[in-house]
Amino acid sequence: MAAWAGCAVRREREIDSTNRAARRWAAEGAPHGAVVVAARQTEGRGRRGRSWESAAGLGLWLSVVIRPDIDAARFPLLSFSAALAAADAVERASGVAPRVKWPNDLLIEGRKIAGILLEKEGDAAIVGIGINVRHRAEDFPPELRDTAGSLRMFAKEPVSLDALERHLLAEIERRIDSGDFFSEYAARCATIGAQVRVVEMNGEFSGVAEGVGADGALLVRDEVGALRRVLAGDVSIREARA
């Protein structure tokens, strides 16, 4: 059982976005570990200005207010802890072990089953996590059907949303209390060691992902042998490591 993660919970049937609600609550003084969870989001938000499909009862849509004991410059690293916590929680609740695609997407057999949206509100970090749980292929909009997945497609038994939420909060607490943002990241990461294509603001290139720096940057050896740091960009896996 978690001690601080989930110490205060707002449970909504429908909301615009749990991240937005958590930000509003954080601005009003929500405690460290406060959680907003919704059965449905009408304006679920993803990274890089994208939207996030959040149909009623099909997934876990949740945001946690974290008031970490770290310098604000290191806040972005919380998204790595959150991805690893989500991967552990998925594995505990479903028996299926997801991989992490840099920086923080969760994949099972190459399909994205979960994503993380980290935002800042004053001195709080808002960690938003969406995990697709009960979708059948036809529950996704056509444009996501080739790339998105849900636990239902891979787990042997139905996955309980309550159990998944409990495991997630316990794992978030464990990882954040440990202060180690990256422990086991390389082992879980599908990107490290793979041939990748990187699309950045001012161009694109291919290479082999060699690791992740202390600041969370993906380190990619490009085709002329230079080691390039990727902090923001779309990285697709072209060829997984053998």
Binding residues (CB under 6 A) for ligand BTN: these are 17-19, 41, 44-47, 50, 52, 54, 61-63, 105, 115-117, 128-130
Find the residue with minimal CB distance to ligand BTN.
115
Angle between helix 78-94 and helix 161-178 axes, rounded to 10 deg: 140
Name the minimum Å distance from CB 209 to ligand BTN.
Answer: 18
Nearest to 60 by CA among 139, 177, 163: 163
φ and ψ of 215, to 5 deg:
-90, 5
φ and ψ of 206, to 5 deg:
-115, 160
Distance CA 96, CA 176 (A): 23
Under DSSP, the state recorded for 31 is P
Give the Cβ contact number of residue 229 at 10 Å: 12
Distance CA 173, CA 183 (A): 14
Q: Give 62 or 170: the residue with its C-beta nearer to ligand BTN.
A: 62
Q: How far apart are the first and last CA of the chain?
A: 38
Strand ranges of the sheet holding 203-212, from the earlier edge strand across to the other edge: 227-230, 218-222, 203-212, 195-200, 234-239
Alpha-carbon Rg for the chain in angstroms: 17
